[in-house]
Amino acid sequence: MDTVASPFSDDVEALKALLSAALERADDAEARLANARARESATGAMIAHLKLQIAKLRREQYGASAERSRRLLDQLELHLEDLEADACEDDLAAEVAAARTADVAAFARKRPSRKPFPEHLPRERVVIPAPCSCPSCGGVRLSKLGEDVTETLEVIPRQWKVIQTVREKFTCRDCETITQPPAPFHVVPRGWAGPSFLAMLLFEKYGQHQLLNRQAERFAREGVALSTSTLADQVGAAAFALMPIYRRIEAHVLEARRLHGDDTTVPVLTRGKTNTARLWVYVRDDRPVAGNDPPAALFHYSRDRRGEHPRAHLASWAGIPQADAYGGYNELYAPGRQPAPLVEAGCFAHARRKFFELADVEAAARRKSRGERTGMIYPIALEAVQRLDALFEIKRGINGKTAAKRIAVRQDLSAPLMADLHTWLAAQLAKLSRSHDLAKAINYMLRRWGAFTRFLSDGRICLTNNAAERTLRCVPLGRKAWLFCGSDRGGQRAAVLYTLIQTARLNDVDPQAWLADVLARIAEHPARQLDELLPWNWQPREAIGQ
């Protein structure tokens, strides 16, 4: 039977063709849109990356341009992370969209450059089985020409193990005497935790601000159930074992002729309420003056901020303290103080900050945009900041030079600026009322002018106390995680561990690796050779054996 053609078949085929063309055009449009989004995301990520690089280079070359510069860098880092993630998502979406069309090529994003994987990492070869015969002709006479290797970084989850130390007993068949090897040294008497575990516990708590209860939860998820009280017991024992190292660092810090000092609040839980205690830090760092002595940080804890605490910390010390204008230091500068009065050196960063707060146009604009109350922007404050910045510019040029070279440059360049600054400040003060905010900022410098000009005659003195502020930054970071110390003893223990960890960081030593090795060796290490375990002298056992 002959097939009768449907009168609508041509129309159906035409509709199919039209629909197919419409779908192709839709796919093309979707692919182009996806490419545009990918290109926009990639461009945004590249701009953010370049802005971050410029900000970092400016900070390295010129130093911090404002007190909030570190925070701005952190914000740029977070912004770049999000933009890079967005660019990767849009890039993959563009590839999927382009695969559905033959007319639009996928946008090829220039991905961030990556350094080769470190050579010290172990390599595991996974060889994909080669064909036994030629897929083209079926021949079996195959000869290897070479290979292509693709490296993928992988991580093995943390592995736990129990080390069994066996001490066999023997008896003598002749005299029936029982002998047994002596028990090995252990950092904690009758302890069950190994040195690497203790080091991880301490560093996570005081270096990474992870509370013990959070660590215990993570251990439990990994199949090792340890209570918080059990972990706390080990922390106390390890801190006790490390006290000799703390004392050696304390002695090293107090041998310096110049120290940076600062303090910050630390909430402490006592009798159901929270009191505000203090953590003090004293930093020895002579690298800006081409000093060869290793840097170190010494932390102390106190229940309050009374002046008796810094006087007790520095009771046997004499030299140049660089700190803020805290009144508790005043007795240390008294002429009859023993063993000798301390020589005060002013911090220009503190002085600049007082003017900067009155001249921060950007902060005022942000507050105004949020509908908040804004203070006055004073041209006098802005000029004061510019005059102080000129001193900082000179400082950057002599950073790392010897004390003699620093004095020569300061006498030549900084001394005239300081003389002009004093004259200008005095003239501006005469125009202001006594209670004016600018008057307070000016008096902060004029009343301590001797301390602020001392850097002109002593090349060891730095313009700022930033070394102490940088070292103390770990405490505010930790406060956000642990909120308060559990007791005064906990605050004292924190001071000990902060001293160890921050000193290791100042000497570019991995704190956790150093603590693990010290805890493994300190029990049997001779006391007279204890300095070998200090961060700047430390060598791992592997390096010693080579």
Is 485's pLDDT higher than 70?
no
Average pLDDT over residues 39-64: 64
Coil, strand or helix: which one is 298? Answer: strand
CA–chain centroid gap for 453, Å, is 33
160/258 Cα distance (integer angstroms):
46
Q: Is the N-terminal amide bond of 339 cis, ω within 30° of 0?
A: yes
pLDDT per residue as tens digits for the range 371-412: 666 556 788 888 999 999 999 999 989 998 999 999 999 999
The answer to whether residue 92 scores a pLDDT higher than 80 is no
pLDDT of residue 439: 92
Q: What is the DSSP string of 180-245?
A: -PPPPP-SSTT--S-HHHHHHHHHHHHTS---HHHHHHHHHHTT----HHHHHHHHHHHHHHTHHH
- pLDDT tens by residue, 229-280: 888 888 888 888 899 999 999 999 999 999 999 999 888 876 667 788 899 9
Gap between the Cα atoms of 356 and 390, Å rounded: 14
Predicted local distance difference test score (pLDDT) of residue 153: 80
Count CB neighbours of 215 within 10 A: 18
Residue 1 — very low, low, confident or very high, per pLDDT cuts 50/70/90? very low
Answer for the pair 533, 242: CB distance below 8 angstroms, yes or no. Answer: no
Residue (of 76, 26, 72, 75) closest to 50 by Cα position: 76
Reading the block at residue 482, the tokens are 């642990």
- Output the average pLDDT for the chain: 82
Give whole-number Cα distances, 316 to 206, 243, 246, 273, in Å.
29, 20, 17, 35
Task: Return all residues near 223 (Cβ < 8 A) that are at least 6 apart.
Answer: 160
The span from the CA of 297 to the CA of 305, in Å, is 19
What is the CA angle 291-294-297, rounded to 5? Answer: 115
Return d(Cα 531, Cα 538) in angstroms, integer: 8
pLDDT greater than 60 at residue 5: no
pLDDT at 82: 59
- Is residue 268 within 8 Å of 275, Cβ to Cβ? yes
Of 517, 540, 486, the closest CA to residue 245 belongs to 517
Find which of 38-42, 106-110, 111-115, 396-400 is predicted with most confidence, using mean pLDDT: 396-400
User: SS3 for 348-381, per residue?
Assistant: HHHHHHHHHCCCCHHHHHHHHHCCCCCCCCCHHH
Looking at per-residue pLDDT, the higher value among 37 and 250 belongs to: 250
pTM: 0.77
